[in-house]
Amino acid sequence: MSGLPKSTDSTYKDLMKKDKVVIFKMSAVWCNPCKEATRVCLSYLEKNPSVKIYDHDVDENPNFGTELGTKGLPTFYCYVNGELKGQLVGAVPESKLAEFVTQHSS
């Protein structure tokens, strides 16, 4: 299984403005729930290719997560047209991820 495209502290500002709806998944290599969240994201993206989801490793790139006040992993942040619209904490089922994206991007 291939993973999600990566976001870094030097790329996230450009990525959040690149598409209408952008989700950043804050994660870490050691985080098992983050691995499950990646599988959920990949499944969701198969059905919703217009949404972009990026994986942001907070250990390798701590500035973005710190700026947002990330306290738990995984944490999802939804940006619409470059503006932060919502946050979701925890490994969630695909239905909950879909609800989160719909709620904050409509």
Catalytic entry in 4, 16, 34, 73: 34
31 an active-site residue? Answer: yes
Q: Three-state SS across the chain? A: CCCCCEECCCCHHHHHHHCCEEEEEEECCCCHHHHHHHHHHHHHHHHCCCCEEEEEECCCCHHHHHHHCCCCCCEEEEEECCEEEEEEECCCCHHHHHHHHHHHHC
34 an active-site residue? Answer: yes
Catalytic entry in 4, 21, 22, 31: 31
* Residues with catalytic roles: 31, 34
